[in-house]
Amino acid sequence: MQLFVIGSNHRSASLEVRERLAIAPERLEEFLQTSAHLPHVEELVALSTCNRVELYGASRHPQLAAQQLKDFLTEFQQIPAEKFSQHSYFYQGEGAVQHGFRVACSLDSMILGESQVLGQVKEAYRLALDVGCTGRILNKYFHHAFQTAKRVRSETEIAKHPVSVSYAAAVLARQIFGNLEKKRALIVGSGKINRIAIKHLQRSGIEKIYVTNRTEAHATELAHSVGGEVIPFANFSQWLSEVDIVVTSTHAPHFLIDAPMVDAALKRRKNSSLFFIDLAVPRDVDPEVNQLSNVFVYDVDDLGSVVEANKETRQVEAKKAEAIVGQEITEFAKVLARLALVPTISSLSKKFEKICQGEIDRALQKLSHLQRDDHEVIENMASAIIKKVLHDPMVTLKEQPEAGQEADVAALVRKLFRLDEIS
């Protein structure tokens, strides 16, 4: 089997395309359970974030599997197939390994070195594992990706000053308002990205935090944990005139905040500036809001430019990280080579065990006068002989063959010992 990745990210597709491709969290399990049964898809992990939708798979026919997944995803999300095709990419083999490792190490992120993506990859893998969609290939792959990310974090300074979209949002707020000590913020949604945004705002000195969420219990829990105040979701728009910063990240299928709503709030606040940080995909804030005077609206695609000042330093550390990724790709190639030979090693062992047991049974039938202890001596002797005979071939098979020769080595062994004739 071979690894492959098919997907679309912030480099290949605009926000408008990505928000149509994004799989709602509550539907990810359904997507996995259904698509994992496609004829050529043998293992599958689905990663859906604000910046990427990627499907990691293992298949004996990766190109056919990728096409089936592409067709299924576009049908599942009810978008034209060509819309995905025009903005997607496909990797297989070493290219897939490199891409996945770079994603886990945040080398493929909008904001280089941000830490959130590794958690998202771990969540995607955990869900696929729980659903039963992974196997020995993807299990090894993702564990090695996490090991690589750990090396990058410990051996480079790419994350010494963590940068995420939430952090970038706080930086933008300071650029617009200067000192945040007298400012108030409304947080719409209680997810992880909003929780991180609150932390950064509080570190910047924000005076007051208001929290609203469609599920009031979630809003109450978040507000309590950050020392904020809960406001009713049904009329949160009335509070737009009371705050200076609005951070929103929900899974609403439509805009929660539109231009008339904001225009009314501006009149109540005498046109003093209002700053929206829209971290949602699909977006929560209608782009038309940005046309209003004294209103600043930033979405996830806008936030990448905020950290340009640190780009040079991050790029230096990224080069070190890329070198680590290269080393780990080489190591993982050895893992895959050993995995490719596992069925052959198993078949060889089973054939010799079957032969051994057959000869033991025949011998014991002729030696019926022997005691049980004598039987054990004969069985142990035969087993020891088989182990010694197989030791050198097994060691040789487990050693790394030349790159690309694994299939040839396996085929030779199977032919030499007629392993495919085992019933």
In sequence order, what are the residues at sequence separation of 6 or more whose Cβ sits closer than 8 angstroms to the Cβ of residue 82? none
Could you tell me the strand order of the sheet in which 184-188 lies? 229-230, 208-212, 184-188, 245-248, 274-278, 295-299
Among residues 50, 105, 133, 356, which one is catalytic? 50
The two three-digit tokens of residue 290, written as one number? 């940005």
Which contiguous run of DSSP H or E holds residue 246? Answer: strand 245-248
Six-digit token pair at 81? 């197939």
- CA dist 352 and 151 (Å) reads 42
| Eight-state DSSP code of residue 23 | P
Q: How far apart are CA 159 and CA 114, in angstroms?
A: 7
Of the candidates 335, 329, 325, the residue with the CA atom closest to the CA atom of residue 406 = 335
CA-closest candidate to residue 283, choices 11, 14, 85: 14
Q: Are strands 184-188 and 43-48 parallel, antiparallel or unpaired?
A: unpaired
Contact 58, 21 (CB under 8 A): no
**Cβ(71)–Cβ(289) below 8 Å:** no
d(CA 262, CA 273): 11
CA atoms within 13 A on the CB side of 374: 8
201: left (phi over 0), alpha (psi -120 to 50) or beta: alpha
For β-strands 52-59 and 43-48, DSSP reports them as antiparallel
Q: Cα–chain-centroid distance for residue 269? A: 42
Specify the pairing of strand 184-188 against strand 245-248.
parallel
User: Which residues lie across from 4 on neighbouring strands?
Assistant: 57, 92
**CA of residue 152 relative to chain centroid, distance:** 17
Q: Which two tokens stand for residue 405?
A: 């020769």
Q: Tokens 């897939």 map to which residue?
A: 96
**Which amino acid would we find at residue 14?**
S
Residue 50 catalytic? yes
- Could you count the other beta carbons within 10 Å of the beta carbon of residue 374? 12
CA dihedral 270, 271, 272, 275 (to 10 degrees): 140
Indicate which residues carry an active-site annotation: 50
